Amino acid sequence: MKARVHVMLKDGVLDPQGDAVRHALGTLGFEGVQAVRQGKVIELDLAAGDRAAAETEVRAMCEKLLANTVIEKYTVEIA
């Protein structure tokens, strides 16, 4: 079973990397970009056979390690 975790900064948290990307896009001629938020995607191969158990386990991983829940939010996809 595979899991995909999307981690992004929470709304209201400054994103200097996103601002740098937006600025760089502007210098490359992409003037229509008004804002960029940058995040990360983590893909996991799981041995779990039960979808609900897998999602519970991945959410625990996010809470303990994969996301800084003070400033980041995350979503989990199980496939």
pLDDT tens digits, 58-68: 999 999 999 99
Tell me what pLDDT residue 49 has.
83
Distance of alpha carbon 6 from alpha carbon 72, whole angstroms? 10
Contacts for 5 with CB less than 8 Å, ≥ 6 apart: 41, 42, 43, 44, 58, 61, 62, 66, 67, 74, 75, 76, 77
Query: 26: domain CATH number?
Result: 3.30.1280.10
**Backbone φ and ψ of 15, nearest 5°:** -125, 85
Q: Give 16-52 pLDDT, tens digit per residue.
A: 999 999 999 999 999 999 999 999 999 999 997 899 9
The number of residues in the chain equals 79
pLDDT of residue 18: 98
pLDDT score of 29: 97
Half-sphere exposure of 6 toward its Cβ, with a 13 Å CA cutoff? 7
Range of the domain at 44: 2-78
Number of domains in the chain: 1
Residue 5 has pLDDT above 90, yes or no: yes
